[in-house]
Amino acid sequence: MPRYTLSLLLCAAAVLAIGASSWAADPLLKPGDPVVAIDRDSNGSNYPGAEAPAKAFDGDANTKYLNFAKENSGFIVSSAAPKIVQSLGLTTANDWAERDPASYQIFGTNAPIVSTDNSNGDLEAWTLISEGALSLPAERFTAMTPISFTNSTAYASYRVVFPTLKNAGATNSMQIAEVGLFESTDGTGANILAGGTVAAVDLDHIYTSNHPGGEAPAMAIDNSTSTKYLNFGEVNSGLIVTPTQAHKTLVTGVQFSSANDAPERDPMTWALYGTNDAITSPANSWGDAESWRLIATGDTGLTETRFEQGPLSTFDNAFGYNSYRIVFTSVRNAGGANSMQVADLQLFGSVLPEPATLALLAVAGLGLFAGRRNRR
């Protein structure tokens, strides 16, 4: 690149950087910003303690994974290292052939897993690898012929879901004795699922978001710790908010405040997403009508002190968005709470300039450079 051209670019970049430095990490949300309650959970996933999802890849056909959510239930498994899978193997369980899966879907992701056990398992960006019908043997404790498929991408985590059953109307659950994902195309070799961390999931949209009229999501952005947002959806509930700023916002920090009572309801972890789509998700829905990108995850840092403002959590982010989805992926004591509550939340960052402003800054940079050359 010619030295003159490089200098121009560096000069323009410097002017942009000077301009950007004036856009401090300021509060971006204010009372009155459009906000709706959501809950990312399904309350359908549920399994007996002795028939947990890990039983599906313990190498023992005499055990099984059973989920009362029936259709669209399955699991997420994260392995120690990314692997390329190219075949699926299944073994029927001990009883009730009606419970056998009749179809399958396999997804992969390299995103951090923030979906919790018995959730919808959709807090990550998943890529569909393979799907199709199943014809499991009528005989019990019997392995099917492995299914091969084309895949050239290594994933750290896999989600296996069974959309349909042999006879869902005649049974109360889905069950499978063994599930195997293999790097080979013929179901041979080591089962990459064995030994991984696992969570049961159900992709059915069963909305549980619900809040009292006086504790609506707008209370979370009213800049007052004396009010609060409460959602009976508990874990994985949250909100979608659109900052009413002139342009897109670049969020690089979040902060939360605890509410008046019941510390067991406090959100402990969060996931933040951004979108530039128009918000069409209705209130108290699953909040997935838009295309969302995961920005960051973290801890709220809240203690059991009431009306407490937690620490500011900062993170790197290079993308500006019009709207944000905040999901609280855990609460302090889910077993002892009937809801999630937060007194206040704030997003910090900057309002991005419109493209025309960026162009003017670049021109100003060129002018500065030209002036300096003429003075030589």
275-295 pLDDT, tens per residue?
A: 999 999 999 998 989 999 999
- Mean pLDDT of the region 174-191: 97
> Distance (Å, rounded) from C-alpha 365 to C-alpha 356?
14
Residue 63 CA to residue 201 CA, distance in Å, equals 19
CA distances from 51 to 163, 175, 220, 242 (A): 19, 9, 39, 43
What's phi and psi for 364, nearest 5 deg? Answer: -60, -35
Beta-carbon contacts of 180 under 8 Å, excluding residues fewer than 6 positions away, are 57, 88, 89, 90, 146, 187, 191, 193
**pLDDT score at 14:** 42
**What does the pLDDT average to over 118-142?**
94
- pLDDT band for position 163 (cuts 50, 70, 90): very high
pLDDT exceeds cutoff 60 at 87: yes
Stretch 207-219: mean pLDDT: 92
Tens of pLDDT along 14-44?
444 433 333 458 999 999 999 999 988 766 7
Q: How far apart are CA 38 and CA 121, in angstroms?
A: 15
The burial of 278, by beta-carbon neighbours within 10 Å (0-12 exposed, 13-18 middle, 19 or more buried), is given as exposed
Q: How far apart are CA 218 and CA 359, in angstroms?
A: 37
> What digits encode the pLDDT tens for the residues 186-198?
999 999 998 777 8
The reported pLDDT for the residue numbered 45 is 87
Mean pLDDT of the chain: 89
Confidence label for 371 from pLDDT (cuts 50, 70 and 90): low
pTM assigned to the model = 0.61
- Burial class for 148, CB neighbours closer than 10 Å (0-12, 13-18, 19+): middle
Structural contact between residues 212 and 341, judged by C-beta atoms closer than 8 angstroms: no
Residue 360, pLDDT score: 53
Reduced to 3 states (helix: H, G, I; strand: E, B; else coil), residue 353 is coil
Identify the band that residue 364 occupies on the pLDDT scale cut at 50, 70 and 90.
low
Give the contacts of 10 (CB within 8 A, at least 6 positions apart): none
Residues with Cβ within 8 Å of residue 109, at least 6 apart in sequence: 124, 125, 126, 127, 155, 156, 157, 159
Query: Phi, psi (5° rounding) for residue 354?
Result: -70, 160
Residue 10: which pLDDT band, with cuts at 50, 70 and 90?
very low
- 64-78, 223-237, 303-317, 357-371, range with the lowest pLDDT: 357-371
Residue type, 161: V
Tokens read off for 155: 């994933």
- Quick one: pLDDT at residue 39? 87
pLDDT of residue 18: 38
> How confident is the model at residue 43, as a pLDDT?
60
Domain boundaries, the chain: 24-41+208-352, 49-202
- CA–CA separation, 356 and 215 (whole Å): 41
Rg (CA), the chain: 25
The HSE-up count of residue 198 (CA atoms within 13 Å, CB side) is 19
In this predicted model, which residue has the larger pLDDT, 197 or 2? Answer: 197
**DSSP helix, strand, coil percent of the chain (3-state; round to 5):** 20, 35, 50
3-state secondary structure of 277: coil
| Residue 348 contacts residue 253 (beta carbons within 8 Å) | yes
pLDDT score, position 20: 39
For residue 168, what are the contacts with CB-CB under 8 A and spacing of at least 6? 70, 71, 98
Residues 6+ apart with CB under 8 A from 81: 156
C-alpha 2: how far from its chain's center?
46
Show the tokens assigned to 234: 């508990």
Please tell me the distance from the alpha carbon of residue 320 to that of residue 26, in angstroms, as a whole number.
Answer: 14
Query: Residue 363 is inside which H or E element, if any?
Result: helix 355-374
Q: One fold for both 24-41+208-352 and 49-202?
A: yes
- CATH fold for domain 24-41+208-352: Jelly Rolls (2.60.120)
Q: Using the 8-state DSSP alphabet, how is residue 359 labeled?
A: H
How many CB atoms lie under 10 A from the CB of residue 25?
15
pLDDT at 78 over 50: yes
Of 2.60.120.260, 3.40.50.10540, 1.10.3720.10, 3.40.50.150, the CATH number of 49-202 is 2.60.120.260
